[in-house]
Amino acid sequence: MYNIRKLTEDLTWIGGIDRKIQKFENVYKLNSGMNYNSYFLDCGATVLLDTVDKEVADIFYENLKYCLAGRALDYVVVHHMEPDHSATLAQVLDANKDAKVIVNAKTLQFISQFFPDKDYSERAVVVKDGDELDLGTHKFKYVFAPMVHWPEVMLSFDETEGTLFSADAFGSYGAINGSIFADGKDFEKDLLNLHEHRRQVRHADNCCHQQGITARHQDDLPFAFLRMAQRHR
């Protein structure tokens, strides 16, 4: 059963909510689950902006199927290759053989590493920083944002509507409770817990140092933990 949220006349949220997850990347404790955001733009062309984590794949596929309503998917925009954004990317592209995938060169490299048995290079529309692209009735500009928080990250700015699709920028943990808009939340009370986040970062950093692993940046900590786990297999 599909579960979508209409945002504008032609933009729909089709992501999913995981209320069972207890830790993000098995490091950061979550108190209220996780929200995975994906958007469908119906603007003459059919455009999917990001996919989702495998934990919410079933509802995501239902949502996408409902929005397509029997039509072909024209474009998939990949802002970020971290699994909470792109774990279901290969399944979407395999199910929609004619869809083009909008990426930058670094993203295309990451796709080949995450899905080594796949080759989507012939379907790729490779954009550079500052490039513009007309998709149906909407015009997009692509802005690179490396290390927000991986090196391939880019943002899409819909110049027609003034909407920014921001990858990991401005993000936070937690599942939504009926409201997808900022003015429907008490952000500081419900979502922003800097003290707890910093405590977890310090704890993760200390564990890494005890194992002789150096994390160059707090966003490296999950990878350091992965290396630590591999040592103890």
- Beta pairing class for 75-77 and 163-165: unpaired
pLDDT band at 77 (very low <50, low <70, confident <90, very high): very high
Q: With a threshold of 0.85, does the pTM exceed it? A: no
Please give the order of strands across the beta sheet that includes 163-165: 132-135, 138-144, 154-158, 163-165
> Taking residues 47-64, what's their average pLDDT?
96
- Spatial distance between the Cα atoms of 66 and 2, rounded to a whole number of angstroms: 7
pLDDT digits 0-9 by tens, 80-91: 999 999 999 999
Tell whether the model's pLDDT for residue 74 goes beyond 90: yes
In tens, the pLDDT along 160-219 reads 999 999 998 887 777 777 667 767 666 666 655 555 656 666 776 676 667 665 554 444
Q: Which among 55, 50, 51, 49 is positioned nearest to 33, based on CA atoms? A: 55
Query: CB–CB of 93/103 below 8 Å?
Result: no
| In the chain, % of residues over pLDDT 70 | 78
Taken in order of first residue, the domains within the chain and their CATH numbers are 5-183 (3.60.15.10), 194-231 (no CATH)
pLDDT-above-90 percentage for the chain? 60
Give dist(CA 228, CA 233) in Å, integer.
Answer: 9
| Cis status, amide bond into 149, omega within 30 of 0 | yes
What pLDDT is recorded for position 225? 37
